[in-house]
Every structure is written in structure tokens, then in C-alpha cells.
Structure 1
Amino acid sequence: MDNRLRAPGASLLPEPPAPRQRRRLLRRVLVSALAGGVVAGAVLMLLPQERQERLAPPPAPGPRAQPQTLTAVTYGVPAGLPGLTTLIGRQEQRVRAQPRDARAWAVLGSAYVERGRRTGDATDYPRADRALRTSLDVRGERNTEALDGLTALALARRDFPAAKQYGEQALKAAPKRWTAYAPLIDAYTGLGDYKNARSTLDKLMGLRTDAAARPAVMARAAAVYQDRGWREDAVAQLTDAAAAARTPAEQAAWLTGVGQLAWDRGDLPEALRHFEAAVRLDPDQRAAPAGRARTLAALGRTTEALAAYRTALAKQPDPADLMELGELYESLGQEQLAEEQYTRMKAEVRRQVAAGVDEELLIGRFEADHGEPVDGVERLREEWQRQPGIEVADALGWALHRAGEDQEALTYASVATDKAKGGGVRSALYAFHRGVIEAELEQDGPARRHLQEALRINPYFSPLRVPAARAALRALGEPPEDELPEDHL
């Protein structure tokens, strides 16, 4: 059975880039400089030019918002974009006046990370790297604020080994600080180390945290519960986090998470309600507008969905959302418009990679479905060796299937979907991938069960793959009378 969705095309990136080599070169340059003065001076010379690259900042937030933004940045929780812009300007002035103020450099670097994460502008990440390393050079390796910032930066770049390294250093330096635990959980998850992710969450939940920290702790717990397949617990934690949030940006982030959980289980009205609430609270939210567009498309409100995607992507052209829009156009038979989105996506991926972001997972997924599957396999094999998380297992398994290596593909698809092997996430896409691979191997019973499971989990999970799942089920036909039902296996 042929399940190929498109003919192979040109590779997204002709030659695999080496962002980590560039980061190592920068690190060597920084380390070789004299501690403190030379490095601080070098970074200071870069600040004026970088600020000229930006458009005029939005109006400064009121006096109450500024301390909240500083708290959010130092706690590693979502912060409003206007407040971030003001905070960055203030910190840039401070480090010019006091270039050996390690905390000012750390706050500046962390603010750059948060602004880059919120806007999708990865050019903030090299700035963050320079500022945070300057803070380390000024104060030394027990500089927990700089280590927290470097952990957040590594997570933003999808560099989970580096996030683990910096996160563990921060935790060792100050084991009672809750901010050291939260990002470390994400690092362990990205590396497929679910045992350490869960034990770290247990330690985090046992700490005494103040009211400002509790929503972020609950949101982190929700992510771990989702990975374990505990949907109701994840929803409860995120709902409580949104209710306890102290700023609109923070509340919008947690409501977006609730919306995503509703989407994952196919509850479209609930997903739309939460995405729209998040957009009203914080128009600068990146995930909420794309989630709203995705949900409108699933509801059959295609014209509204396309307009919502275009609005969201005109402001913040996220590569994954561009690919998603391309696939929506493709499902509508509008191939030229689909290719335009894929072209835009390629340009954005190159920009992200140039700023040190690891986009191998997204590139591998694109190549598997829309480009050269063999190239996708090569990239994802390397990614699996470096950071073997569930997302990579699923993507590698699918790329191997698309390259015609179904037996090996099933090994990775099983890792992504079997609880015994770590795959506790209830994902319609992962179940679909496994079902298609099993059908190709003529394992009709398991294939039928996993394809049905995909449609039960979320009958709207993809405009391209839902029709493919239904077609695959029709091709498999009805189960034989002697085939045991799923709940007896």
C-alpha cells in the first residue's frame, strides 16, 4: 500500500549547517579574552548597532508593569512584549554605565531570550549568548542567574544537551531555587530521559514556592503529566495556573496550553474558546493565533482560518506554522499557494539556523513528507544520537517509512507510542504514523487499531493525514471475526 503524500523534492538545506560549531568558536573567543573588562567592552560595542536593527519600540508600560516584567524574566515565566522592550533598553543603558554588573548582564541576556522566543526573531539569541557569557566572565561559574539564562537560551535553540549541562550547574550551585528545576525538566524531556524529568518534577513540587512562582510550577507539572498521558491532570494544572497568573502575558500562555490540550483531544469548541481568550489577553502570543487558525480550519471555517493564518504569520512567521499552512493549502488542492508557504518556511528555517537554533527535527519532517526522505532520515538519525526524545523517534520512524525502510521504521514508531518504551503521550499523529507503517508491513490488526486510535484521539489532527488515515482503514477492510478487540490485548 502506497502512503506517500508527495513526490520527493529538493532538499530544504543543501548542506547541513553547523550552528554548534559557530557557538563553540564564539565560546573559545570569549574564554580567551581577559576576564570581565575585555569581554564586556567587546559586547558593549555591539549593542548600539543591534538596537538600530529594530523598529521603534511600542509605548513603555506603566510603572507597575516594569517590576512585573523583571520578575517574569528572572523567574523564567512569560513576559509581555512591551515590558520586555522597555526592560531591554534599561538594561542596555545599565551595562554601558556599569560594564562589570554581572546581574545586569544576566537580566539583559534573559530578556533577549524571552523576546526572541515571543517574537520568533532568533537574532536575539546571539545577543543573549554574548550578554549571558559576559555575566559569567564577570562573576564566575556560580552565577546562577546567568546559568538560568543559558539554560533558557539552550531550550529556545532546541539544544537539550547544553540545557541539561547549564541546568544541572545551576541546580548544583543553588539546590533550593525553584527556577533551576523547571527548565531542567524540559531538558530531560528533550533528551528522552523521562525518569529524571519526573523525579525533578517531584523535587520541584516539594519546594516551598511563593505565589508568583506557583502558576509556572503548575504549568511545568502539566507538561510532564501530558507526556505521561495524564490528560485530565494536565488540564487541571494548566487551568489552575491560568487562574493564578499575575500578568496578562502569563495567563495567556497558560490558556494557550489549555487550548492546545483541548485541540489534542479533538475538542474544537473548547480549543477555540481558550485560543481566542489568550489572543484577547495578549495579542503578542505566538502559539494562540496559530492555534486559533488551526481550529477554525478543522471546524470547516476555511476562509476565516486562512485569514487567521495570514495575520499570524505576517507578524510572526514561525517555520512550523508556515509548513502547517502549506499543508492546509495542499489539502485544498491549491498547490501553488502551498509551495509559496514552503518557500517562506525554508527562508525562515535558514534564519533560525543562522542564529544557532537546531531545526533538524522540523527539517527532517519536511523532507519526509515534502522533499527528500533519505535526507530526512540522515538528519534525524544524527538528531536521535544527540537528543533522543519522543518527537525525534516519531519523526525518524516516519522518515524511514517514507524512504522505504519499514521494518526499522516500526522500531522508532514503537518507541514513540509504547508506554513501556517511553511513549506515554497520546498523539493522533504518532498513532497514525505507526498504523501506516504496520499496514505497509501487512500487520493488519495492529495497523487497524492504531489508525482507529489516531481518529479517536483527534479526528481533526491534520487536513492531509486524516483523509489518509480513513483511506488506509478502508483499504484494510473489516477485521476478521477471530481478531481480538483492542481492550482484550
Structure 2
Amino acid sequence: MWKVVPLLAALLVVTACARQEPVSQPVTQTSSLQRNAESLQAKLRRTPDDASAWAQLGATHVELARTTFDPQHYSRAERALKESLRLKPEGNGEAFMGQGALFNARHDFVAARDWGQRAVSALPDSAQAQGVLVDALTQLGDDAGAAVALQRMLDLRPGVASFTRAAYHFELHGRLDEARVALERALETASSPEEAGFCQFHLDELKGRTDAEALEVYGGLVSKAPSPEYLVKYGKALDKTGKPAEARAQFDLALQQLRALGGDDLTAALIAADHGDPAEALRFAEKEWTKRQSVFTADAMAWALHVNKRSAEALPYSDKAVALGWKDPEVLRHREAILGSLR
């Protein structure tokens, strides 16, 4: 049995059976999801009182929103999940999971945690329900709670979804060797080209990319799935290769998307701090901090305060950002700048 807490050796002997879903071949994946949505819609025209089908349709639209970056899918997911809950308000684990996934996607992690807990109560042997809860607790900064839910997920189904979440858990604790092994185990258990591509992508992320590799990888991703995350990474790659004007265009587009969609004030804070208005960066960061006090928001607060020339106030937040052992290069860059300004 694989364990979250013990050392690397425990992971090496496992026999395998928020990161999110695979990033490779997004067109293929989106087509499959769209076909699934159409099939469920056809089924519901015949049997409109099928609470399970409504819940599945809602979950499919959450995934379509993630792969297409079309916020209309969130509204469709919400309507489908509400209909499922209207038909079956109690013990509807599928709808509870769908709601948790929807609120995670919308960055309302408190609501996602609450729905995840309801899903786990209704479906105690569901690894997927545990995954919804792991994602919410991780983002809320409840490290102990996330570890418990992750261990339960691994016990139930040590596959791609659980191993990749384990890798992220290790990464946040600075246990990079164990994170790599977890991703390698995930890659071994992948059952489709999309899953394998997802695992390989994050293995390469963990190992680090050269500037040329980053330019090619993120440029390709932006052309297929122009999410704020990929736009920012592509912008950084452009900046490092001497293309500041093109880089700025990516940052501006990412910030425009975030302002329009709302919800992800954390990413907006970091973009504004480096490439926009420092005062706006601090407003974004403070708004996110009122909702969750995680290592992620601590780093955003620290950096936003620093670029507003308030480094003494930034330091306690920077301390919190690395308290678990997180060694993310950007977080360490922020910390070094803050410490340097106080010397």
C-alpha cells in the first residue's frame, strides 16, 4: 500500500492499479467530451427524470469548460447539476461530486470542500470523490486534511488521478525526488494517450525546460488552449528569449481573461504584480487572501506587498509560502527579492 507520509522507499514498492486532466491532444479530448454531452442530452430527452444522467451531464460540462475555456459550460453544468439535485436531493453522490468539481473550477474552494465532503459521505469508496476533496483542501491550505483525503484516494485507486495528486503534494513539500517517482508511476498506469501525455508533461515541468523548449511547448498549448496559465508561461518564455513586446501581449490577454471571468484572483494578482498595476495586484491578492490562506495566496500577498514597496510586511507572508518546503522557482525568486530589499 502506498503512503503519503513515509519516505520514498514506500512509493517504490507499490503495484499500481489537480492537477487536472491531460493537457495533450486537447482537440481529441474535447471532441470526446462533446460526444458524451450529446449522448447524455439524447438520453435525457427520453428519460428526463434520470438524476444520474443529469449529474453526469453537469460533470461533462465542467470538463468542457476546462478544455475549451468557454464559461458558458459552467452555466450549463450548474443547470444540469441543480436538476439532478432537484430530482434526488439526498444521497446524490454523483451530483455532489459534480458540484465540488464545478466550485473547484470556479475557485470557490470553500464551497468545493463542502460539496466534496458531502460526496465522500455519500460515496465513501469513491476515489473520484476523494479527489474533489483533495483539490479543495489543498487550495484552502488545509495540508493535513488534504493528506488524509489523498491517502484514502490512493488506498481506493492508486492510478493516474491519485499519483499525480500525490506528486503535487510532494512538490509542495519540497520532496522533488518523490514527486518525480509519483509521476513516473502515474505514467506507468496511464491507459490512454491523453493520460500518458499529461503525465509526461508534468514530469518535464518538474525537471525543468530550456528556454527553447518552453517557447515551443507553451506556444503550442496557447494555440490550442489559450488559458491564462498557458498565456503567462508562454509570455515568460517569450520574455526570456528577447521578445518583450510579444510577451507583454500574452500577459495583457491573460489579465483580460481573468478580469472577464472572475474567480482566479490569485493568478491575476501575480500577473498584475509583474506586468501591470502594483496597486491592482495588491487588491487581487488581498481579495484572495480573505477567501483562503494557503501557501499559494501567501506567495501572492508577499509579492504584491513587495512590488508596492512594503517588503517588511511581505516577509511574514513569504515565510508562510515556503513553510511546507515548497521550492517553486518563482516563489524562491520572490523570496530572494524580498529578503534582498530588507538587507
TM-score normalised by the chain length of structure 2: 0.86
2:72 is equivalent to residue 123 of structure 1: yes
Residues 96 and 347 of structure 1: CA distance in aligned 2, closer, same or farther (over 3 Å)? farther
Map of 2:224 onto structure 1: 315
Partner Cα separation in structure 2 for residue 342 and residue 216 of structure 1: 30
C-alpha contact (below 8 Å) 1:113/1:152 kept by paired residues: yes
Residue identity in the other structure for 1:234: A
Map of 1:140 onto structure 2: 89
2:153 is equivalent to residue 204 of structure 1: yes
Listed as ranges, the gaps of 5+ residues in structure 2 are: 1-19, 23-27
Return the match for 1:425 from 326, 336, 341.
326
Residues 343 and 375 of structure 1: CA distance in aligned 2, closer, same or farther (over 3 Å)? closer
Residues 429 and 198 of structure 1: CA distance in aligned 2, closer, same or farther (over 3 Å)? same
Partner Cα separation in structure 1 for residue 114 and residue 286 of structure 2: 22
Give CA-to-partner distance per residue, 1:426-467, whole Å, 9 cap, x none.
21221221111111111xxxxxxxxxxxxxxxxxxxxxxxxx
Partner Cα separation in structure 2 for residue 333 and residue 221 of structure 1: 36
Partner Cα separation in structure 2 for residue 408 and residue 103 of structure 1: 50
Map of 2:316 onto structure 1: 411
Return the match for 2:47 from 98, 103, 109.
98
Map of 1:33 onto structure 2: none
2:157 is equivalent to residue 251 of structure 1: no
Partner Cα separation in structure 2 for residue 306 and residue 337 of structure 1: 12
Listed as ranges, the gaps of 5+ residues in structure 1 are: 1-75, 269-294, 443-489
Partner Cα separation in structure 2 for residue 249 and residue 156 of structure 1: 20
Partner Cα separation in structure 1 for residue 128 and residue 316 of structure 2: 36
Partner Cα separation in structure 1 for residue 155 and residue 248 of structure 2: 50
Map of 1:216 onto structure 2: 161
Partner Cα separation in structure 1 for residue 121 and residue 188 of structure 2: 32
Return the match for 1:348 from 248, 252, 257.
257
Give CA-to-partner distance per residue, 1:305-326, whole Å, 9 cap, x none.
6565444323221123223333
Map of 1:487 onto structure 2: none
C-alpha contact (below 8 Å) 1:122/1:351 kept by paired residues: no
Quick check: which one's helix share is greater?
2
C-alpha contact (below 8 Å) 2:221/2:230 kept by paired residues: no
Residue identity in the other structure for 1:428: P
Matched-pair identity in %: 32
Please report how far the alpha carbon of residue 102 of structure 1 lies from its aligned counterpart in structure 2 after TM superposition: 0.7
Partner Cα separation in structure 2 for residue 329 and residue 257 of structure 1: 20
Partner Cα separation in structure 2 for residue 331 and residue 220 of structure 1: 30
Give CA-to-partner distance per residue, 1:130-150, whole Å, 9 cap, x none.
111111111113110011111
2:288 is equivalent to residue 379 of structure 1: no
Residue identity in the other structure for 2:98: G
Residue identity in the other structure for 1:252: G
Residue identity in the other structure for 2:226: P
Map of 1:229 onto structure 2: 174
Give the alignment's Cα RMSD to 1 decimal.
2.2
Partner Cα separation in structure 2 for residue 141 and residue 379 of structure 1: 37
Partner Cα separation in structure 2 for residue 308 and residue 250 of structure 1: 17
C-alpha contact (below 8 Å) 2:174/2:325 kept by paired residues: yes
Partner Cα separation in structure 1 for residue 327 and residue 191 of structure 2: 31
Please report how far the alpha carbon of residue 335 of structure 1 lies from its aligned counterpart in structure 2 after TM superposition: 4.1
Map of 2:14 onto structure 1: none
Map of 2:130 onto structure 1: 181
Where do 1:325-344 residues align within 5 Å? 325-332=234-241, 334-344=243-253
Map of 1:47 onto structure 2: none
Residues 128 and 203 of structure 1: CA distance in aligned 2, closer, same or farther (over 3 Å)? same
C-alpha contact (below 8 Å) 2:255/2:271 kept by paired residues: no
Residue identity in the other structure for 1:257: H
Return the match for 1:435 from 322, 336, 341.
336
Partner Cα separation in structure 2 for residue 386 and residue 154 of structure 1: 13
Partner Cα separation in structure 2 for residue 334 and residue 254 of structure 1: 30
Partner Cα separation in structure 1 for residue 243 and residue 280 of structure 2: 26
Give CA-to-partner distance per residue, 1:342-374, whole Å, 9 cap, x none.
332233224433xxxx12011111221122212
Partner Cα separation in structure 1 for residue 327 and residue 219 of structure 2: 30
Please report how far the alpha carbon of residue 177 of structure 1 lies from its aligned counterpart in structure 2 after TM superposition: 2.1
Please report how far the alpha carbon of residue 99 of structure 1 lies from its aligned counterpart in structure 2 after TM superposition: 1.6
C-alpha contact (below 8 Å) 1:317/1:348 kept by paired residues: no
Return the match for 1:367 from 247, 272, 275.
272
Map of 1:398 onto structure 2: 303
Map of 2:184 onto structure 1: 239
Residue identity in the other structure for 1:127: R
Partner Cα separation in structure 2 for residue 436 and residue 151 of structure 1: 37
Residue identity in the other structure for 1:359: D
Please report how far the alpha carbon of residue 332 of structure 1 lies from its aligned counterpart in structure 2 after TM superposition: 4.9
Larger Rg: 1
Give CA-to-partner distance per residue, 1:254-285, whole Å, 9 cap, x none.
2222222212xxxx4xxxxxxxxxxxxxxxxx
Map of 2:31 onto structure 1: 82
Give CA-to-partner distance per residue, 1:33-58, whole Å, 9 cap, x none.
xxxxxxxxxxxxxxxxxxxxxxxxxx
Residue identity in the other structure for 2:112: A
Partner Cα separation in structure 1 for residue 119 and residue 89 of structure 2: 12
Partner Cα separation in structure 1 for residue 160 and residue 235 of structure 2: 35
Residues 256 and 374 of structure 1: CA distance in aligned 2, closer, same or farther (over 3 Å)? same
Where do 1:2-151 residues align within 5 Å? 80-151=29-100
Map of 1:73 onto structure 2: none
Where do 1:280-295 residues align within 5 Å? 295=210
TM-score normalised by the chain length of structure 1: 0.61
User: Secondary structure of the residue that 2:49 maps to in structure 1?
Assistant: coil
